[in-house]
Structure 1
Amino acid sequence: MGLSPVDSYPMPDRTALPRSYVSWRIIPVRAALLVHDMQNHFVGAFPKGRSPVVELLDNIAALRELAGALGMPVVFSAEPPGQRPAQRGLVADVWGPGIGDEPDAAAIVAPLTPRPGEHLLANVRHNAFLRSHLGRLLRSAGRDQLIICGVYAHLGVLLTAADAFMNDIQPFVVADAVADFSAEEHSLALRWAARSGVVCTTDGLLRELLRHREPRNRTPGAGPTAAPHRDSADNT
């Protein structure tokens, strides 16, 4: 099947959000931020300079800035390029061979390039937990809340949120910091995410995080000479 161009559609606002079944509140010392599959290959399917990609990039950037300021782990998931058929598995039957070896296709989009001290995980399935070290990373950092943004809402974002819930990690899906193939699929993803997590807006989440803001020391390894942490996926 592969990727088709995405038509422009408006980002949902707070009046269009489904009611979450839970009333969890975000706590920075318990939370991490996951930026899912924001790679040139995927983001390039959206119309440049139009909704929803304009808001998508701006809102993720805002979340990433505040998460870093609060000392929250910031994690990027990215599909590796040039996967062998055995690595790609059944996903190839639906989405084809995946990201090829074209220059920069697999790179995180320039406005969100991972920084020193942030984590970059290879993920070989839509669910960012599967065959990656995301769960181990969260446990080692003592985090049981996960803010999820990126693409695509009804695939990787929703499946990752569901797996977080199944593993007693509270998922927070940011409605206007995810995007999808269409407004309909975007809305569907939010309705399902609301059944096992919190669906919120960027502004609302930023306000909630700022309530807890206090000066923090930088985490070890986050200095200007450190490189993003890269965790290898188990691709067998």
Structure 2
Amino acid sequence: MAIPALQPYQTPSEWAPNKVKWTLDPARAVLLIHDMQAYFADFWEADSAFVSALVERLAAVRAQCKALGIPVVYTAQPGVQSDAERALLNDMWGPGITQHPERQAIIAGLAPEPDDTVLVKWRYSAFQRSPLEHMMAELGRDQLIIGGIYAHIGCLMTACDAFMRDIQPFLLADGVADFNQADHQMALNYVATRCGQVVRCVEVLNLGRTAAPALTRAALQARLLSLLDELDEPFDPDENLLDYGLDSIQVMALLSEWRAQGLELSFTDLAKTPTLNGWWSLIEQHGGAA
């Protein structure tokens, strides 16, 4: 069975009541943009307004997450997969993306940025055969915001897997799409009653706009680590961040995020002492610390 041709539908606006009342915390969260590859979006009609609206909502969520210092992670299936690598997926879905490797890229409008992480996706859950759990543990984060396609397959399985790893999943009700409304509705109801919390995209957007989080030293370190390549040795708060690979574009992005939270620093300020401890001292001096 291959993925069928997909038609637009009315995105569910209601779902079963959430059994849990978790509070989404920017200092604890990671945003996962799930399988938003051209190949999977192609099953809707070309230039689909339905897909464009989804991309627009997810792009807004991503922008707010970045402003809040929330790391952004993508999943993407490789364009070339051997029969052994696909294994049982062949029985269920056929060769899949391997027939169209040129459509592997993330859809336009959501392309990953240099400081984002792209994980190779092998199975329904983003945690399977990936470093996602380890990465989140290193960052000290235990909440996962999930958006993308398809809601009742990879998004749902990732939410369940997160729950079983003691990571709180938040599924974006209008930030996912599916084969049809019934499958979408089922995914929302299941997460709300069995393994997570369903939220609307606007709740994530309002999180940033209504109350920017106070900056803590731990949050600063987590944000810096999200920008750096995997380190071969323990992170040293007195080590020059440029030696760790931080570049000027990333520094400017940080300044923009802090400015949105009311913290005014300049590139020159940061360049004087480009270490975690040096920057934290500056933040405290300028009244930006929690």
- Could you state the TM-score of these two structures normalised by the residue count of structure 2? 0.72
Specify which structure has the higher proportion of strand: 1
Corresponding residue for residue 169 of structure 1: 167
Is 1:25 paired with 2:6?
no
How far 1:137 moved relative to its partner?
A: 1.0
1:92 aligned to which of 90, 93, 100? 90
Which of structures 1 and 2 has the bigger CA Rg?
A: 2
Say if 1:28 and 1:44 are closer, same or farther in 2 by CA, change over 3 A: same
Corresponding residue for residue 230 of structure 1: none
Say if 1:70 and 1:89 are closer, same or farther in 2 by CA, change over 3 A: same
How far apart in 2 are the matches of 1:165 and 1:5? Answer: 31
How far apart in 2 are the matches of 1:209 and 1:138? Answer: 21
Corresponding residue for residue 231 of structure 1: none
1:146–1:172 Cα contact (<8 Å) kept: yes
How far apart in 2 are the matches of 1:215 and 1:223? Answer: 25
Structure 2 unmatched runs, 5+: 229-245, 251-290
How far 1:225 moved relative to its partner?
A: 6.4
How far apart in 2 are the matches of 1:47 and 1:102? Answer: 17
Aligned AA (2:50): P
- Could you state the TM-score of these two structures normalised by the residue count of structure 1? 0.88
1:183-225 deviations in whole A, cap 9, x for unaligned?
A: 0100011010112211011112221343442586763446466
| Greater shift in the superposed pair: 95-104 or 177-186 | 95-104
Is 1:10 paired with 2:35?
no
2:125–2:158 Cα contact (<8 Å) kept: yes
Say if 1:3 and 1:223 are closer, same or farther in 2 by CA, change over 3 A: farther
1:18–1:199 Cα contact (<8 Å) kept: no
Say if 1:115 and 1:215 are closer, same or farther in 2 by CA, change over 3 A: farther
How many residues align? The count is 224
Aligned AA (2:6): V
* Residues 94-109 of structure 1: pairs in structure 2 closer than 5 A: 94-100=92-98, 102=100, 104-109=102-107
Say if 1:171 and 1:208 are closer, same or farther in 2 by CA, change over 3 A: same
1:115-165 deviations in whole A, cap 9, x for unaligned?
A: 011000001001100001111111111110000000000000000000000
Corresponding residue for residue 192 of structure 1: 190
How far apart in 1 are the matches of 2:100 and 2:94? Answer: 16
How far apart in 2 are the matches of 1:147 and 1:210? Answer: 17
Percent pairwise identity:
40
Corresponding residue for residue 71 of structure 2: 73
* Residues 25-64 of structure 1: pairs in structure 2 closer than 5 A: 25-50=23-48, 52-64=50-62
Is 1:151 paired with 2:149?
yes
| Greater shift in the superposed pair: 135-144 or 216-225 | 216-225
How far apart in 2 are the matches of 1:179 and 1:47? Answer: 14
| Higher relative contact order (Cα pairs below 8 Å, separated by 6+ residues) | 1
How far apart in 2 are the matches of 1:167 and 1:102? Answer: 34
How far apart in 1 are the matches of 2:21 and 2:113? Answer: 32
1:11–1:51 Cα contact (<8 Å) kept: no
How far apart in 1 are the matches of 2:211 and 2:131? Answer: 28
1:82–1:98 Cα contact (<8 Å) kept: no
How far apart in 1 are the matches of 2:96 and 2:127? Answer: 19
How far 1:99 moved relative to its partner?
A: 1.0
What's the RMSD between the two structures over aligned residues? 1.9
